[in-house]
Structure 1
């Protein structure tokens, strides 16, 4: 958790729902891939420092689910990964998938936000510079 304490002006930590949101603190935002145009479900927590919450860009269907005889349901993209992967390492990589719409939203929205903040800072500093 060194990153949380780092002297960095803008930080976004993302992690799927799990142990971090119970051991650290409540996230600033919880998002789903289907909020950003990807027809899939994967609750992802965001802990933000000096960044705004993401705005949903394209809400779509949350995707297919597989239901077991026990009644338990899991998302199809994840189930597919369990059957297609051969090793624990491959499953780990499959589970860590970041969906493209979510990645694009982070890059575009936070990139634009930070760029604007930096521009304001430079502009303000130049206003007070002596000639």
Structure 2
């Protein structure tokens, strides 16, 4: 019992910042493990918690955190699937366009639209770079596999340490999730399921995130953190940090 109480006390002193998260999934997982966890995003928290900082994560990463988990940084311009828009810009303005860009988009030519897309790439890479090089000892950033233009824009870039699937952690779903890690171990699968065969009804259900129809909340559905991954991260990375702090 004494050892358990000491462990709880140590964890309460470990400050965890979950960046670019509104769902609270990862924040709650670390809170459940006894850590002093907070989330931060430009948007308000979905669960109306008082442990959410609404604002730019770069304004708070210098506040002496022990662990930084950036779960959903704007990745559309960084990932391989977005590379095509740097060659042939979309007909409609992208979701992350500013009001001024949206208003001007119909009258812009291809080169002007491309200039906006490349500017968004620079902004996304700058955010990732600032988080990756944050003055925090333990860091994890979720992001899909990046294209070469993104990699060259990130200071001290290193390849992703691992790519996991929700079904590695007991959630019946397909969604490749890559983690870029600094002084954190790769996650170990906790409840590996057997994926259904392509073409079966179960395979379609597991692929729901990729089959999500267009809509205002599509981005939020596609970026959601699965509870199994959140629980594994809180336990495994939390244990690692606690051992380091002991």
TM-score, normalised relative to structure 1: 0.71
Aligned to 1:99: 226
Q: 1:16-55, aligned counterparts within 5 Å? A: 17-18=144-145, 20=146, 22=148, 23-24=150-151, 25-55=158-188
CA shift, 1:112, in A, is: 1.0
Q: Where does the alignment leave 5 or more consecutive residues of structure 2 unmatched?
A: 1-128, 152-157, 197-201
CA shift, 1:21, in A, is: 5.9
Report the CA distance shift for 1:41/1:114 in structure 2 as closer, same or farther (over 3 A). same
Report the CA distance shift for 1:14/1:21 in structure 2 as closer, same or farther (over 3 A). farther
- Aligned residues, how many? 105
Q: Where does the alignment leave 5 or more consecutive residues of structure 1 unmatched?
A: 67-73, 120-131
Cα distance in 1, alignment partners of residues 140 and 227 from structure 2 = 17
Residue 142 of structure 2 is aligned to residue 10 of structure 1: no
Q: Is the 8 A contact 2:175 2:209 kept in 1?
A: no
Deviation track 1:49-101 (CA, whole Å, cap 9, x = no partner) reads 000011110100335334xxxxxxx913432x32xx6x3x3001111111110
Residue 217 of structure 2 is aligned to residue 90 of structure 1: yes
CA shift, 1:36, in A, is: 0.4
> Bigger relative contact order, structure 1 or 2, given CA contacts below 8 A and separation 6+?
1
Cα distance in 2, alignment partners of residues 106 and 112 from structure 1 = 9
Q: Is the 8 A contact 1:21 1:27 kept in 2?
A: no
Aligned to 1:75: 207
Q: Is the 8 A contact 2:161 2:186 kept in 1?
A: yes
**CA-atom RMSD in angstroms:** 2.0
Report the CA distance shift for 1:78/1:13 in structure 2 as closer, same or farther (over 3 A). same
Structure 1 segments of 4+ aligned residues over 4 angstroms from their partners: none
TM-score, normalised relative to structure 2: 0.39
Cα distance in 2, alignment partners of residues 94 and 62 from structure 1 = 21
